[in-house]
Amino acid sequence: MNKAIKLKTMNDAIRIAIEKGGYDDTLESDAYRKIIYAQDPYFWQALGKALGWKDKMLYRLTDSMYERKLSRKEMSEAEIHAHQYFDLVLTGGDTEKFWKELIK
């Protein structure tokens, strides 16, 4: 993981994904950009590339909403962080803290 890169906000994450991860920035509005980019898997992949996240698949225990059992699901590090972010958004969590702590 690239410890030299500092993230404090989603704008920092967007800038890093564009500058160092090769993500294509085509949107004008900052507010619209945050909504659209957070939903784009290529944004998370580019951010992961810029931050040196592992491409290999990791395992995470998940609870299926249809079956009350835990199962393993293969996910990349970018997918895991994206899920963590959306968990915070959906539960009203502190997304600013998420960006600050993302690369610690």
Domain that holds residue 32: 10-101
- The reply to whether 3 falls in a domain is no
- The reply to whether 70 falls in a domain is yes
Q: What is the pLDDT along the chain (104 residues), one digit of tens a residue?
A: 566 777 888 888 888 888 889 888 776 777 777 788 888 999 999 999 998 888 776 666 666 555 556 566 778 889 889 988 988 988 999 988 998 888 76
- The reply to whether 2 falls in a domain is no
Q: List, for residues 11-41, the tens digit of each pLDDT value.
A: 888 888 888 898 887 767 777 777 888 889 9
CA dist., res. 72 & res. 55, Å (int): 18
- The reply to whether 39 falls in a domain is yes
- The reply to whether 67 falls in a domain is yes
- The reply to whether 46 falls in a domain is yes
What is the DSSP track for 40-70?
A: -HHHHHHHHHHHT---S-EEEEEE-SSSSSE
- The reply to whether 5 falls in a domain is no
Total domains in the chain come to: 1
pTM: 0.65
- The reply to whether 58 falls in a domain is yes
